[in-house]
Amino acid sequence: MSDTPTRDDQDRTGAPDHGMPDGPDQLLPDGDPVEQPSADTPARRYTDEQKYQVFNKEFMPHIDSMYNFAFRLTTDEDDANDLVQDTYLKAFRFISSFEQGTNAKAWLFRILKNSFINDYRKKSKEPAKVDYQDVETTYNSEDAESEHTVDLRAESVSDLIGDEVATALNSLPVDFRTVIILCDIEGFTYEEMAKILDIPIGTVRSRLHRARNLLKEKLRDYASSMGYKEESEE
């Protein structure tokens, strides 16, 4: 039976050649890798030649994913260009806090996310800024728990096209959008996401859950506006 659930590892992140380090804590340096390399991760002494080598072999292969992430966050090509450039220049400037062989993609995504929050979020073209705290509180409430499932059928979303999905995704508050991008589009594990976002794994899990419920509500609106009839139970 082809629909038997399996652990779907094929889209897991990381360039195939990177051996993931054994120690989970090696994934990323503690603290902000950009502003203050942690004392736990002593600066590598790379020669200039090694710096370029690390940059080209470990960082550049992720540039399309980074651009896609930047574009999904800013929803603007010029901002995405600037954000990716800033991130790569920062990554080079702080390359001594990157340990070769560790997860470069997660390290870069974390820098990009921090740059976005610090420099772009304010000027990004978010329509009527949604207070994330508000949304999360609402979704934490008892009411939200009881209406846990969105009345939507797989058949009604199967004909949606990419642009419609993108529009639905873009309409989510940025913190919810971010977890969906990291998980479903980039294939990061929960643990990697926790480190990229500086939040506990439990928060990753619950935020993702809420994000998907919101997304399904948007998709349902789409599907029904396209004339799909909400089917009732057979």
Partner 1 sequence: MKEHCSHQADCLKMIQLILDGEATEQQLARLKANLVSCQPCIQMYHLEKEVKELLTKRMEKKCCPDQLVERIKTKILTFS
What does the binding site for partner 1 look like in residue numbers (CB under 8 A)?
A: 3-5, 7-9, 11-12, 48, 51-52, 55, 60, 63-64, 66-68, 71-72, 80-81, 84-85, 88-89, 92-93, 145, 148-149, 152-154, 157-158, 160-163, 165-166, 169, 180, 183-185, 187, 189-190, 205, 208-209, 212, 215-216, 219, 233
Nearer to partner 1, 80 or 106 (CB): 80
Give the whole-angstrom CA distance, residue 141 versus residue 177. Answer: 21
Between residues 135 and 157, which has the closer beta carbon with respect to partner 1? 157
Complex with partner 1: residue 48 or 131, whichever CB lies closer:
48
Of the candidates 149, 132, 143, 129, the residue with the CA atom closest to the CA atom of residue 203: 132
CA distance 86 to 50: 21
In the complex, least distance from residue 131 CB atom to partner 1, rounded to whole angstroms: 25
What's the closest the beta carbon of residue 100 comes to partner 1, in angstroms?
17
CB 118 within 8 A of CB 124: no
Beta carbon of residue 192, minimum distance to partner 1 (angstroms, whole number): 11
Which residue number, 93 or 129, has a Cβ lying nearer to partner 1?
Answer: 93
Residue placing its CB nearer to partner 1 in the complex, 31 or 96: 96
C-beta of 36 vs 85, nearer to partner 1: 85
Q: Can you tell me which residue has the tokens 């599907």?
A: 223
Give dist(CA 128, CA 132) in Å, integer.
12
Question: Which tokens in the block code for residue 194?
Answer: 């926790």
| Cβ at position 127, least distance to partner 1 in Å | 20
**69 in Cβ contact with 11 (< 8 Å):** no
Of 179, 199, 198, nearest to 187 by C-alpha is 179
Selection from 198, 190, 36 nearest residue 113 by Cα: 198
In the complex, minimum distance from the CB of residue 82 to partner 1, in angstroms, rounded to a whole number = 9
**What whole-number distance in Å separates Cα of residue 26 and Cα of residue 21?**
6
CA-CA-CA-CA dihedral for 138, 142, 143, 148, to nearest 10:
90
What is the closest distance, in whole angstroms, from the C-beta atom of residue 108 to partner 1 in the complex? 12
Q: d(Cα 185, Cα 179) in Å, to the nearest integer?
A: 10
